A and B are shown apart, each in its own frame.
Chain A
Amino acid sequence: MRRLPNYFLINLALAALVALLFVASVYVGRGGELLFTKLHAMDEIDRSLAWLILKEIRLPRAFLGLVVGATLGLTGAGLQGLLRNPLAEPGLIGASSGAALGAVLVFYFGLAAGSAMLVPLGGVAGALASLALLYLLAGRNPSIVTIILAGVAISAFASAFTSLALSLAASPYAVYEIIFWLLGSFTDRSMDQLWFALPFVVVGLALVASTARALDALTLGEDTAASLGFNQTSLKLRSILGTGLAVGATVAVTGVIGFVGLVVPHLVRPLVGHQPGRLLLPSALAGSAMVLAADILVRLPTSGPEPKLGVITSLIGAPFFLWLILRTRREAD
């Protein structure tokens, strides 16, 4: 019988990988090699310029990678555990489409130029609105199927409005802005935007993390989990609200980063013996690692426009997911 690797060691290894990629993310970039030489430069102006780049461009970007990756990894694992369905992903409950719509409306009305904070503000408002709508649709004590169907409906509705905003946009420039924002990227995000999203993310992730043992119990079905002392209504509320807050807030800042929340839990699951509660922490770490790595990847081409992060994660994630499905099918045969 194959023994599982030690749980502590898995997390330690993943944390070390995240730390390494974080440092690399600060270091690598267009003209990145110069950054650290400049920090040691004699010239005062060079030094302060390098410091400015570090503080205003590189660090926010690396922190965003850390936070967004952890959010997608944790909420993806949590939602797959809650729905007992390995195809669930954080966007399923509609909060990320809602956040995207909220942000797009800010662009649509031309408010984005006014303040950099209005886009994330609109995004978070959109995420909260879609969560409220989910609550209204699904009711006080919803079944899992009701939650999924309501989430799908909200996503479709929000996407339709996003398309409407695109088709009615007054200026081609607004369309261009919206499309680029929707593709998902960490470029030109400031520390202020990160600070704005962080409280929602922290509360959301704490809510999802608090469901770990309930998710373990849910392996045996809702009735058995209830008989093991876990209130199912509270579990669903914490999981859905937490996912909506955390994912909504990150989408509000970065746009939609696809496939990470779907693929990362699959990668980590065999390492923790498929136990949904134990999956949460390593999945969050692996999510950070994957997003940081992908964000380094988009910076590697040294000329031409930078590819968008959301595009890269989907480009890598989709075939990878296909491979996972094929492998699972082979194992089942």
Chain B
Amino acid sequence: MTLHITHLYASLGGARVLRDLSLDLTGTGFIGLIGPNGVGKTTLVRAIAGLIPFEGTLTLDGTALAAMPQRARAKRLAYLAQGAESHWPLSVERLVALGRLPHLEPFRKAQAADEAAITRAMQLTDVETMATRDVLTLSGGERARVLLARALAVEAPLLLVDEPVAALDPYHQIGVMQGLAAYARDGGMVIAVLHDLSLAARYCDQLVLLNDGHVHAQGTPAEVLTPQNLRDVYRVEAEVTGEGRGLTITPLAQI
């Protein structure tokens, strides 16, 4: 899996949000997309997902995403929106099954492979026990895991997630991050927009730090989360302690 982005420009309501952004990502792994509010993280994810117009090139394994038919793209790329919700009180298993829609042939029912994918997704997110429950009666944390299971069920090589752990308690934050990490280990590329830097450092294999519409830094959490980068981009004085997966970032003061 290679995602190749060159000279990407995108606007939001007339304002240029992404400015000449270039980024190369290869292989599998859990990639955290970080940066302050308003630097274009969500816009970048939405551009990759084909939800907004952009200029520049975006290729997935050598094929331009814009040239891919929508259905073909849907099989290769899954997207979990920020604050995703279900509009109808579906049961958990039916909601997760919606992730298989890109794979269903017209007038055909779900096949064994679809059932298997649904079961795998529900196992990864630990929601099998609530399979028959109405999704609207679940707690926010449970619902977030179910909606993540929906995105995992697509079994797309590339998974885009926008702020999957915002508004979740630590227990469910860890649950969701483990689900994403497990999906990446199983051979997927996961790109997640994250705000909790310590959590990002603990679970991500690679971080991409955005600033002002382009990539400021890219690399392992230790390479990206330096006090200097945090000063330049986040405008905070921060203490960085620990190393490897145990890297902890404590913001101390505004600059």
Contact = CB atoms under 8 A, between A and B. Distances in A.
Query: Do the two chains bind?
Result: yes
Interface of A: 1-3, 84, 213, 216-221, 223-224, 226-231, 273-276
6 contacts: A226-B49, A226-B70, A228-B99, A229-B70, A229-B101, A275-B88
Contact of A273 (B49, B81, B91): B91
Contacts of A219: 86-88, 90, 95, 98
Contacts of A223: 46, 49, 51, 79, 81
B85 interface: yes
Contact of B71 (A216, A220, A229): A229
Contacts of B89: 274
Nearest to A227: B79
Contact of A229 (B74, B84, B95): B74
A90 B68 CA distance: 35
Contacts of A274: 88-90
B133 interface: yes
Greatest chain B CB density within 10 A among A217, A224, A275 is at A224
B77 interface: yes
A276 B78 CA distance: 22
A275 B132 CA distance: 14
Contact of A1 (B90, B102, B132): B132
Contacts of B132: 1-3
Contacts of A230: 70, 101
A226 B51 contact: yes
B195 to A, nearest CB: 20
Interface string B12-46: 00000000000000000000000000000000001
Interface in B62-81: 70-75, 77-81
Contacts of B77: 227
B116 interface: no
A276 B88 contact: yes
A326 B92 CA distance: 26
B50 interface: yes
A226 B132 CA distance: 26
Nearest to A210: B106
A227 B86 CA distance: 15
A237 B101 CA distance: 20
A223 B78 CA distance: 11
Contacts of A275: 88, 90, 94
A219 B135 CA distance: 12
B167 interface: no
A229 to B, nearest CB: 3
A227 B88 contact: no
B70 A213 contact: no
Contacts of A3: 132
B214 interface: no
B174 interface: no
Contact of A231 (B70, B104, B154): B70
Contacts of A273: 90-91, 94
B101 A217 contact: yes
A226 B104 CA distance: 15
B74 A227 contact: yes
B84 A224 contact: yes
Nearest to B72: A229
A224 B79 contact: yes
A227 B84 contact: no
Contacts of B70: 226, 229-231
Contact of B73 (A1, A216, A218, A229): A229
A143 B77 CA distance: 24
B150 interface: yes
A268 B29 CA distance: 45
Interface in B158-187: none
A228 B154 CA distance: 8
Interface string B123-159: 0000000001100000000000001001000100000
A216 to B, nearest CB: 6
A295 B85 CA distance: 41
A88 B74 CA distance: 29
Contact of B87 (A1, A221, A227): A221
A216 B50 contact: no
Interface string B206-239: 0000000000000000000000000000000000
Interface string B93-112: 01100110110100000000
A309 B98 CA distance: 40
B84 A221 contact: yes
Contacts of B133: 1
A226 B50 contact: yes
